[in-house]
Structure 1
Amino acid sequence: MAEYELYCFAQSGNCYRAALMLNLIGADWEPKWVDFFGTMVQRSPAYRDEVNEMGEAPVLVHGEKKLSQSGVILTYLANRSGQYKPQGEDEELEALRWIIFDNQKVNGFLGPYRFLKNFAKPAGAPPVMDAFKARALGALGIVNKRLEKTPFLVGDRPTTADVSLTGYLYYPAEEFGFDIAKDYPAIASWLQRMRALPGWAHPYDLMPGYPFGTQGYRNR
């Protein structure tokens, strides 16, 4: 049995943050598929009672601990492994600042936009989609400007802030209808730096649920 279990599914950028962090630190882990779109197990009383009362994924299981919310999971793994951990109070606060900005403004709008475009039935109404897209692009512009000045969000090395912000940014451009890497050159360069880290893997290769509606992986 692996040291860590992660309740996750391939289409979730929130799950990807946690799965990627586990891979980057070289953890002994295994995924547990959450059939988010099919049986919607996350809505079941058993899931809410035994796994996560919030009815969400990801959930990291480590011994007796069950941790939810990707920022909490990233912090826990960084503290345990000593890897991707901000150093000192100033870095910790700066990393937290970007994680919160990511969850609220970058992937906070990009994630729902992608969900409503690709998976929701019916798809999102045009005014809603336009509003989500505009807010997401504005936030990406802020991140791009930051990365024009520094190789990673907090400085010269990657931290939990960088792992968090990659959440939805490796998914195919056709799932958004626009190419983030093409439109934001500094983000594109940063994504290549993250991709070069030992243990990096694409979300569709790292977590079950691809092709859509199956428990498979892209390259397995």
Structure 2
Amino acid sequence: MTMKLYCFGESGNSYKAALPLALSGLDWTPVFVDFFKGATRTTEYRAEINDMGEAPVLLDGKVKLTQSGVIQDYISEKSGKFGGATPDERREILRWVLWDNHKMSSAAGMTRFLMNFLPEEKRPAEVIAFMQGRLKAAYATLDATLAKRDWLVGDGPTNADFSCCGYLFYTEPFGFSREDWPHLDAWLGRIEALPGWKHPYDLMPRA
């Protein structure tokens, strides 16, 4: 049975689920969620798809999963890929996934939204500057780790990498430039070289 991923191309959190699906070899298809027209806020979406009113959502038969980290874990369970080779690696992957959701993706998603998807006159300059400062600290943490290794955990790509790269392939301005972070740039290049890699706008439908 083909799995369905409710998602939209502008969503870095959706990309965190779509990318390992694409690289895993599992059978799946994207289902467009029209976030910018309020699809996730409708009564129907919350009742039938996700009571949290968010994307992504993965449907696999009777299994329904929300939150990108949970979906990544399920993909690893089904495919045997990207979940770590040992208990220590699995815990280290979880550490990075939690760090990303708290320190980087939440700030990147908000900053990118404020800078690109709000009318210009409604973009709060002080908030954006504050969030970019937090992001710079997160980039520095990630860059320092990747100065010492090719992948965040183990000897190959894992869900730690797919979580932390979720917003970094987008070209809309939000305070990240690959040329400013050479180790991040090299790491993103390694991800791009993986067989089956696609940019989020090529992997998922967009508004």
TM range (shorter): over 0.9
In structure 2, the partner of 1:188 is 185
Output the CA distance in 1 between the equivalents of 2:28 and 2:147: 35
Change (3 A) 1:49 1:18: same
Matches within 5 A, 1:108-119: 108-119=106-117
Contact conserved, 1:107 with 1:168, CA < 8 A, in 2?
yes
Among 173, 179, 202, the residue aligned to 1:205: 202
Q: Which amino acid aligns with 2:78?
A: R
How far apart are residue 155 of structure 1 and its match?
2.6
Deviation digits for residues 53-72 of structure 1, max 9, x if unmatched? Answer: 00000000000111000000
Q: Which has the higher helix share?
A: 2
Does the 8 A contact of 1:117 with 1:123 survive in 2?
A: no
Q: Measure the CA separation in 1 of the matches of 2:113 and 2:20.
A: 23
1:38-90 deviations in whole A, cap 9, x for unaligned? Answer: 2x111111110110000000000000111000000000101110011112221
Match of residue 129 from structure 2 = 130
| Percent sequence identity over aligned pairs | 48
User: What TM-score, normalized by structure 1, do the two folds share?
Assistant: 0.90
Aligned match for 1:56, one of 54, 57, 71:
54
Structure 2: segments with no counterpart, 5+ residues: none
Contact kept? 1:42, 1:56, Cα under 8 Å: yes
Whether the 8 Å CA contact 1:6–1:30 is kept in 2: the answer is: yes
Contact 2:94 2:160 in 1 (8 A): yes
Instruction: Name the counterpart of 1:92.
Output: 90
Give the conservation status (yes or no) of the 8 Å contact 1:75–1:85: yes
Unaligned runs of 5+ in 1: 214-220
* 2:97 partner amino acid: I
User: What is the TM-score normalised by the length of structure 2?
Assistant: 0.96
Change in 2 beyond 3 A, CA 1:163/1:177? closer
Counterpart for residue 5 of structure 1: 4
Q: Give yes or no for the alignment of 1:22 onto 2:21.
A: yes
Q: Which residue of 2 aligns with 1:69?
A: 67
Instruction: Give me the CA root mean square deviation.
Output: 1.2
Match in the other structure for 1:216: none
Instruction: Check whether the contact 2:132–2:175 (CA below 8 A) recurs between aligned residues.
Output: no
Q: Distance in 1 between matches of 2:140 and 2:106?
A: 15
* Equivalent residue number for residue 106 of structure 1: 104
Show structure 1 runs of 4+ deviating over 4 A.
Answer: none
2:155 is equivalent to residue 156 of structure 1: yes
Q: Which amino acid aligns with 1:200?
A: W
For the 8 Å contact 1:10–1:203, the answer to whether it is kept is: yes
How far the C-alpha of 1:176 sits from its partner, in A, is 2.1
Contact 1:86 1:92 in 2 (8 A): yes
CA contact (8 A) 1:9 1:207 kept: yes
Offset, 1:26: 1.3
Which residue is equivalent to 2:36?
37
Give the CA deviation at 1:123: 3.7
